[in-house]
């Protein structure tokens, strides 16, 4: 027993020193400060890293005055890089390196894990158009305005003209397809493997020149003037980028353009730092670097424009969190119990902290084939 107490004391001391390095105090009153409700927290985090930290939050072992700011401080100080590398994390890293974790079957399962949990949750949390990706806040004051501004921005970047054919890869609940068909007069084909999204998107776009299909991009064919994916590339997987962009090349009509709106990082993806997110939120996620994308399109596409909207995602996530918290009492608590509430809050606010600390970015990237074309004029 004495040895165990000594180990806990050591973990306590180590954790306190690490937190102070990030300007975080236990039982402090500032936004980034935390409260510890179970002293076993420290040993758990030192043992299990980010997975232990997240699960301990879901178990009620700790809380923060402002979780998003806590994570901003933690991430800015690179604290998770100092946490012990355990055998389970080594195994996860080796698995991600050796095996393709985004096969067609696994991608469908992973997307269902997140997007098929219930449309009612997303209806309460998102904007009126059900857009589940970074909004554009340049001139917007509300979430609805910011999401409509993002849709308009994408359409302008791709130079939509009436009658054009558009492929929307990962079409979600059909918000972009509906907007583009209504406002630009284009013909949209939207694809997603998530069945709940397909059912909703079909109703959402009824009466418009929009076709919604439950398909993976690897099973799609055809020719389109424009291709767009908004929040899809994160689910493709690094080992599949060449396959993904080759598929886009096969389906893009001569003289066509495409835009991919994706979360990305400045350093190579490291599975050690995303165990909680991969277990509870996005099982198959892989976040690209600009280098990953550039390498995948070598000799095929020219990158015409890169626009970083990372700070806009911080604001978007905080808006989602505010709506989620306000609407939670109206949700079915048999399906969305208290543990789910803590999990979902943790997910939204750790992501806000990631973007606030510039640990993640959000890029809109415009591509054209490597062939003669008029000068592309960037749109903002």
| The model scores a pTM over 0.85 | yes
CA–CA dist 192, 215 (Å, integer): 5
Asked about 72 being catalytic, the answer comes back as: no
**Domains defined for the chain, CATH in brackets:** 2-84 (no CATH), 101-369 (3.40.50.150)
Among residues 134, 155, 171, 351, the one annotated as catalytic is: 351
Helix (H) or strand (E) holding 121: helix 119-125
User: What angle do helix axes 338-356 and 41-58 make, rounded to 10 degrees?
Assistant: 110
Give me the pLDDT at residue 271, please.
Answer: 58
Distance of CA 210 to the CA centre of its chain: 25
pLDDT for the residue 17: 86
Distance of CA 267 to the CA centre of its chain: 16
Q: What angle do CA 207, 208, 214 make, to 5 degrees?
A: 95
Task: Measure the CA–CA gap between 217 and 54, rounded to whole angstroms.
Answer: 33
Q: Which residue has the tokens 């974790």?
A: 101
- Distance in angstroms (rounded) separating the CA atoms of residues 76 and 261: 24
Give the helix/strand (H/E) hosting 126: none
Tokens of 258: 């495409």
* Tokens 């809109």 sit on residue: 364
Rounded distance between C-alpha atoms, residue 323 and residue 336, angstroms: 15
pLDDT of residue 5: 45
According to the model, what pLDDT value does residue 101 have?
52
- The pLDDT score that the predictor gives to residue 85 is 46
Q: Identify the CA nearest to 146 among candidates 328, 323, 367.
A: 323
CA–CA distance, 350 with 353 (Å, rounded to integer): 5
Cα 56 to Cα 337, 338, 339: the distances in Å are 16, 14, 11
Q: What confidence tens digit (pLDDT) does each residue in 167-212 have? A: 999 999 999 999 999 999 999 999 999 998 999 999 999 999 999 9
Task: Extract the residue ranges of the chain whose pLDDT is less than 70.
Answer: 1-9, 80-117, 271-273
Distance CA 159, CA 47 (A): 52
Please tell me the predicted confidence (pLDDT) of residue 2: 47
Q: How far apart are CA 174 and CA 203, in angstroms?
A: 9
């Amino acid at each position: 027993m004495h040895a165990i107490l000594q180990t806990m004391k050591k973990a306590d001391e180590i954790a306190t020193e690490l937190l102070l390095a990030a300007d975080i105090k236990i039982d402090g009153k500032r936004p980034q400060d935390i409260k510890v409700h179970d002293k076993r927290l420290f040993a758990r985090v030192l043992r299990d890293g980010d997975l232990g930290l997240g699960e301990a939050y879901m178990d009620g072992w700790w809380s923060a005055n402002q979780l998003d700011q806590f994570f901003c401080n933690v991430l800015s100080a690179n604290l998770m890089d100092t946490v012990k590398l355990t055998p389970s994390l080594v195994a996860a890293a080796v698995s991600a390196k050796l095996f393709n974790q985004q096969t067609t079957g696994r991608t469908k399962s992973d997307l269902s894990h997140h997007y098929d949990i219930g449309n009612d949750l997303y209806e309460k949390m998102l904007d009126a158009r059900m857009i589940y990706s970074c909004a554009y806040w340049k001139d917007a004051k509300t979430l609805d305005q910011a999401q409509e501004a993002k849709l308009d921005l994408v359409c302008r970047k791709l130079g939509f003209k009436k009658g054009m054919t558009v492929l929307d890869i990962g079409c979600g609940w059909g918000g972009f397809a509906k907007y583009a068909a209504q406002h630009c007069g284009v013909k949209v084909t939207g694809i997603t493997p998530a069945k709940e999204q397909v059912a909703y998107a079909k109703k959402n776009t009824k009466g418009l020149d929009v076709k919604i299909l439950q398909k993976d991009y690897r099973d799609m064919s055809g020719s389109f003037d424009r291709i767009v994916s908004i929040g899809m590339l994160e689910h493709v997987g690094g080992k599949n980028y060449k396959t993904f962009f080759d598929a886009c090349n096969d389906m893009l009509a001569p003289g066509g353009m495409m835009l991919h709106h994706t979360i990305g990082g400045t350093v190579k993806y490291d599975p050690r730092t995303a165990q909680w997110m991969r277990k509870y939120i996005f099982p198959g996620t892989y976040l690209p670097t600009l280098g990953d994308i550039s390498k995948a399109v070598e000799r095929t596409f020219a990158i015409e424009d890169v626009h970083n909207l990372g700070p806009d995602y911080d604001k978007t996530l905080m808006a989602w969190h505010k709506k989620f918290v306000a609407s939670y009492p109206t949700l079915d608590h048999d399906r969305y119990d208290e543990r789910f509430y803590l999990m979902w809050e943790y997910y939204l606010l750790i992501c806000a902290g990631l973007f606030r600390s510039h640990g993640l970015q959000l890029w809109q990237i415009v591509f054209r084939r490597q062939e003669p074309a008029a000068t592309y004029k960037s749109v903002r």
